[in-house]
Chains A and B, each alone.
Chain A
């Protein structure tokens, strides 16, 4: 990249809006070019001056009170009345019904919310791995350097496949942390897209079915296989990500 290209991208770079490939290219350029690195420092100095100089106006307490008071408030009128028999009749049946439905749905909600939290964690880890210069702990040309590297670092052996021939070369591996435990992260590449594949031992009765979810524009596919839980996450399109998952399985 030359200075002109950096000029066009310097704000997106400072705001961490660029993909890993371009971020790395700019980092290289900045380390050699004083003018561009000065311009970058200036953007950062401005940002931190704006953040640190107390420009945030908090809503005054009287405004919060006024807004709350101006919202229509139904609760006020009914709570002042005694709770008569007719109210048992009026509210009792719907409340009992709601409680029953809540009870019936509880287990599925618990599972859904665990998956939901995990999807967020996985996405956050993926994004973080792209932001920092810490994509891989071990860089690899094939699975024989990556697989042994995990020995002694985690208490399981993640299945490691090199899919270079199928167009998904293995870039390397990394230790990561999900659901309060260390997990293996395998990094694959498809053209300019990076895929993080997180692997750890599955808990009991995990579903084998593949599920696709979308979080913050990233596609995530998760499934269980041979006692392991897998989460693949990437900005790659769902079709190619599915293809990748089929190759891994």
Chain B
């Protein structure tokens, strides 16, 4: 009886977020097959620990498990990707923020934007996905990734700056670094 109840609640609160889980896994692993494994593993873990979920934001809760699963997976399979993140310093490239990019970005197509996001270091990529695609608040992202809100804000700022630079360069080959 209790087990059935757990399943019903899990189906109702967690399963609607499968797309969000897969999307995050896909962006963190950058690969469909690995994303499927990570997403499935994460959902099974979520089911296992569902007793510890006491209400609140179920999407954040599931996504934090996806995130942990993905990082564990990266640690095991693509250690260099995580290692680059921590040593990643902001490249001192010319600040393009003041250039009129509105028109340029309109011309950027799906492929280019996708490549630009994929090339971000994993922690910057993550914050872009959570903020821009999932529409999560700084606070939600901070709680989910267990970092201060200030860190979320600075990662987001740096991620956007890098995207502006790479999209700017791609679309405007003349711009020097």
Bitwise interface map of B from 86 to 107 toward A, beta carbon under 8 Å scored 1, else 0: 0000000000011111100110
| Chain A neighbourhood of B22, CB < 8 A | 57-60, 63
| Chain B neighbourhood of A64, CB < 8 A | 18
Min CB–CB distance A87 → chain B (angstroms) = 12
How many residues on chain B are close to A (CB under 8 Å)?
Answer: 49
Q: A17-B138, A60-B36, A71-B44 are in contact. Are A46 and B164 (CB under 8 A)?
A: yes
Size class of the contact patch on chain A: 35 or more
Contact of B98 among A38, A45, A55 (CB under 8 A): A38
- Say whether A43 contacts B110, CB under 8 Å: no
- Say whether B40 contacts A70, CB under 8 Å: yes
The answer to whether the Cβ of A50 comes within 8 Å of any Cβ in the partner chain is yes
Please report which residues of chain B, range 56-110, place their CB below 8 angstroms from some CB of chain A when the two chains form the complex.
97-102, 105-106, 108-110
Separation of A71 and B48 alpha carbons in the complex (Å): 10
Q: Which of A12, A39, A59 has the most chain B CB atoms closer than 10 A to its own CB?
A: A59
- Say whether B102 contacts A50, CB under 8 Å: no
Min CB–CB distance B101 → chain A (angstroms) = 5
- Say whether A67 contacts B132, CB under 8 Å: no
Contact of B7 among A47, A54, A63, A74 (CB under 8 A): A74
- Say whether B97 contacts A39, CB under 8 Å: yes
Please report which residues of chain A, range 53-95, place their CB below 8 angstroms from some CB of chain B when the two chains form the complex.
53-60, 63-64, 66-68, 70-75, 94
Contacts from B to A (Cβ < 8 Å):
1, 3-4, 7, 10, 15, 18-19, 21-23, 26-27, 35-36, 39-40, 43-44, 47, 97-102, 105-106, 108-110, 113-114, 117, 128-129, 131-133, 137-139, 153, 156-157, 160, 163-164, 167
Contacts from A to B (Cβ < 8 Å):
11-12, 15, 17, 35, 38-39, 41-43, 45-47, 49-51, 53-60, 63-64, 66-68, 70-75, 94, 217
